[in-house]
A and B are shown apart, each in its own frame.
Chain A
Amino acid sequence: MENTSSDIRQLNEKIHQASAFVDLLTMELGKVIVGQRYMVERLLIGLLAQGHVLLEGVPGLAKTLSIKSLSSAINAKFSRIQFTPDLLPADVIGTMIYNQQKNEFVVRRGPIFANFILADEINRAPAKVQSALLEAMQERQITIGDTTFKLDEPFLVLATQNPIEQEGTYTLPEAQVDRFMLKVVIGYPTKEEEKQIIRQNLNPELSTPIRSIIQPSDILEARKLVREVYMDEKIEKYILDIVFATRNPEDYKLNKLKPLIAYGGSPRASINLAWAAKAYAFMKRRGYVIPEDVRNICFDVMRHRVGLTYEAEAENVTSENILSEILNAVEVP
């Protein structure tokens, strides 16, 4: 059914009211997390757009604190899984254990049964553990023995990767990385922010505990509204142009990018770009998507979906460079 002008106006008003919690949530998280607004914003996009987030950053950038605080603010269950080389799939999803008293096998649920999962240093675990987690992320259900368990909603996985250490790691294959809606690269806080971090840590009494602002059910309601956010055909075309430019740059007069791109964005990239743009529009308290929304989340959605050739790596060309070129060449509607 086609949206009419009045529908969109109503939706806009509805979203304007419903999305008020986003600002409250950001403010609440701001009590304990100094800076890193970008990361928090991306976590919320992932949460609202039913996506998962892969974080890349050096240790000590408040990754764990962020997701822990977010879960506290939403009153959701949080669990942290430290990925190690000896981790087994059963350590993540759970297993059947024998109960001698009852003389039967009972299910012991793994840490994945939570709303917010922090998969810390996901690339330290072998492929079978990674794929167990990623399957759960995709299917949002777990099968242990003969029983299938639906995972609680909202379900958000925040996986982290350390970009510095590569020894003894199992790099996530392209197909697995593609399952993450966003890949966020976070950097160090500013000098001012870091000064505040020091003060906050030296005087714990200054920091106030996180209050529960909303309930998980509110997130589920917000997700329904995100789905309703109006996306015009022009915006759809813009998204397609960006994704197709990563596949066939020569069609967009970007012939110089052709030898640098091994593979472009998958259809999942287009889907996630649309979802994330809608979520971003929702967070900006709008009932419709504008090109700014697409551009704003484009790098985080696309950077892990553009494969680079050896030539590009030799020339120190990054996927961000390629995306910048594409965004500067594709006409905005």
Chain B
Amino acid sequence: MYKQQVIRRIFLCCILGLLFPFSLLAQQAVDVTAKADTNSIRIGEQIKLQLTAKLTAQQFKDANFKVLFPVLPDSLDHFEVVTRSNLDTLVNQDQHILHQTYTLTSFDSGHWEIPPMHFEVFSGANATADSAVTLPIGIDVNTVAVDTTKAFKPIKSIKGVAWSIWDYWLYIVIGAAAVLIIGGLIWYFRTRKKPEPVVKTPVVSPYEIAVRELRTLKEEKVWQQGDIKQYYTRLTDILRTYFEHQFNIAALEQTSEELLQNIKPVTKLNQQRDKLRSLLAIADLAKFAKLQPTADEHTECMQKAEEILEWTKPKTGPAEETGADTTLEKA
């Protein structure tokens, strides 16, 4: 009885022992490889080490299935990592191949091994971790053969780089652009239409304006139509505007009395003071006291205005030159 039990246990163990590697195989199920592009380099030369993991389409789609590539330090035993590429995916029929390339170099002569690469594989809902390991790769790092029988050679001078037009492309482009711009500007200024000469309209002098307005006032026959107030308002406004522009007296903002005071420094105008006084007096009465001057007075006032204008008419230029006797601060 005991013997049978012992035999049964031994048998069970054998069965389990045989099945164990298969279960491991089923778990891993990822084909990982590390492949070098050469097994022999000269000292300092570079090796391309390609790490590859092949996944089935089902594994690739499985959200719980993950393969972590080994992260190599900058320096391995006898090897230095020069560059690392990003992880790339290649779809090949029903297989998804993940691969990453390392560039390694070695400065130690001899036979060295790139160590096995450990890939971490996570699978299942519980994220069961497992490792997939590649085989080590042997690399021969050879030194350069030195002929010791020959004498030492001097250090080579710096080797010149061959001249190429592309080294100067930026300067060429800038130069061409500058030439084009300058050429364009020359062309523009030569071919553009010359502005037509501005016809200068003669500046109308205050005197001319005043004369014209007096003529208009006369032609409109304002007082003849009974608008006495309007007639004298316009008549005095014409004179005041003329004084303002011709002699720089702020006549429009001054009362008649102030105006008569302020024309004193303007000799030419002051000579017509009496005429101006009588005109302004009649105008003020007509404007503010409803006085109805006679027709003769209307004509006389117009005549006085014309005489004042004629007397003070500037000899040259639209505005009288400023002088000691003709200038007056705008009051």
Residues of chain A whose beta carbon lies under 8 Å from any beta carbon of chain B = 3-5, 8-9, 12, 230, 232, 234-235, 286-292, 295, 327-333
Contact = CB atoms under 8 A, between A and B. Distances in A.
Nearest to A292: B255
Given A8-B290, A232-B290, A328 B331 contact: yes
Contact of B253 (A3, A9, A230, A328): A328
Nearest to A12: B289
A291 B256 CA distance: 8
Q: Looking at B250, B255, B258, which has the most chain A CB atoms within 10 Å of its CB?
A: B255
A291 B289 CA distance: 12
B108 interface: no
B84 interface: no
For chain B, the bracket of interface size reads: 10 to 19
B257 interface: yes
B253 A292 contact: no
A289 B291 contact: no
Contact of A289 (B252, B253, B288, B290): B288
B313 interface: no
Interface in B212-265: 233, 250, 252-258
Interface string B102-115: 00000000000000
A292 B290 contact: no
B254 A332 contact: yes
B118 interface: no
Contacts of B284: 290
A289 B288 CA distance: 7
B287 interface: yes
Nearest to B240: A332
A235 B288 contact: yes
Contacts of A9: 291
B28 interface: no
B95 to A, nearest CB: 86
B253 A5 contact: no
Contact of B252 (A3, A12, A332): A332
26 contacts: A5-B290, A5-B292, A9-B291, A12-B289, A230-B288, A232-B288, A232-B289, A234-B287, A235-B288, A286-B289, A287-B289, A289-B288, A290-B256, A291-B255, A291-B288, A292-B255, A292-B257, A295-B255, A295-B258, A328-B250, A328-B253, A328-B331, A331-B252, A332-B254, A333-B287, A333-B288
A230 B290 contact: yes
